[in-house]
Structure 1
């Protein structure tokens, strides 16, 4: 069971790195060099949750933060931002709680260790679901926009960026890790009490004394 929990925690560590990358990444969608208009095929353009950039000259990028207040942005983008921020907080908290539940960590013991491990699993399950929902929602928006752009022949047509693929992988690893962390300590209910050896003395014939440890 200890090995199972360690594997789950390791998966959660990798998933946390992936989730944090997604939150900060600028590559949620990138312009398609094939589908974009011929005149714009040498132009690089990409967007993330917080920043969008464009490069007319290789290596030189012009970036902005969407040049709008939060109230002026699309509701879907604000919702995706919120989901990823909450996912990051849940992942960090779940990782700490899951590590405290490992057998090699002696900060807590017994049922507290079990509850910490299961709480970490629940937090990480929540983080993974939120990440999966955010990247899938964003991908659906990109796919819908791509169809519309091709029909009307807009200057730029966007496709999935690397952040979406990493988000899907991170959420999958996180779900597996959450299950392992949650249920690997399911049999640790009796570890709450610490049984120290107790010495009893029994007196036999001729004044002999026997000592037994239980």
Structure 2
């Protein structure tokens, strides 16, 4: 049997990471304008990979879609869209495979080997999902940082852009998906596999060589 507790813990952690992947993909908080006295009194600008929003001090939001054709988008936005969407798809598939492959579920209970392989595949997909999201937010964060350094001499602080909360959510998704997927994959290892490994690791005795017990016989 597999380690059901390890699988369940990995699934919960990975599911949290998958939620972070989805939130980071759809929310417009990849970057925002830096704080200043003027902007704090008037408005704040938030930009994502799908929409751009202006939040006014009255609590109202005005958002516009980024309808530019994919090829015409800036490279960080292209990478953000491509990698994050792929991460969402992998996370959705990993969620389904996790439910099918975990020992605590009754799905595929007639085929323990299939459940074990399904759980292992789900763990790998969770890790890939978190890794893709991590690449997307890291590349975008690097572009924001480079632009901030280029604009360091600007007199208006509100025109500078800094990291948005979605970048931190994406990095959290990288960690949680990697940890959860690793636990899920590790929990898919059955006791039979451990017994086979221990059996193969025993010392090899060539044929024809007697055991030590044969020499312990005393003759009178």
Instruction: Provide the alpha-carbon RMSD of the alignment.
Output: 1.8
Higher strand share: 1
Q: Distance in 2 between matches of 1:67 and 1:112?
A: 44
Q: 2:30 aligns with which of 28, 31, 39?
A: 28
Of 131, 151, 154, which residue of structure 2 is paired with 1:149? 151
Q: Is 1:64 the equivalent of 2:67?
A: no
Report deviation, 1:152. Answer: 4.0
- Tell me the matched-pair count: 187
Distance 2:84 2:129 in 1: 8
Paired position in structure 2 for 1:117: 119
Pairwise CA distance, 1:60: 2.7
Q: How is 1:89-104 mapped onto 2 (pairs within 5 angstroms)?
A: 89-104=89-104
Q: Give 1:96 shift.
A: 1.1
Matched, 1:106 2:109: no
Farther-moved stretch of structure 1 (12-21 vs 71-80): 71-80
Q: Is the 8 A contact 2:101 2:107 kept in 1?
A: no
8 Å contact from structure 1 (residues 2, 102) kept in 2: yes
Segments of structure 2 that go 5 or more residues without pairing to the other structure are 194-220
SS at match of 1:150: coil
Any stretches of 5+ residues in structure 1 without a counterpart? Answer: 191-214
Residues of 1 paired with 2:56 and 2:99: CA distance? 47
Matched, 1:17 2:19: yes
Classify the secondary structure of the residue corresponding to 1:100: helix
TM-score (norm 1): 0.81
Instruction: Name the counterpart of 2:75.
Output: 75
TM-score by length of 2: 0.79
List per-residue Cα deviations over 1:115-163 (Å, max 9, x = no partner): 1001101111110100111111111111111111222446511111111
**Match 1:133 to one of 132, 135, 149:** 135
Q: Where does residue 165 of structure 2 map in the other structure? A: 162
Q: Which has the higher contact order (CA 8 A, sep 6+)?
A: 2
Asked if the contact 1:5–1:184 (Cα under 8 Å) also holds between the matched residues in 2, the reply is yes
Of stretches 53-62 and 178-187 in structure 1, the one that deviates more from structure 2 is 53-62
Matched-pair contact (CA < 8 Å) for 1:111–1:188: no
Q: Secondary structure of the equivalent of 2:102?
A: coil
**Cα distance, 1:107–1:46 mapped onto 2, change above 3 Å:** same
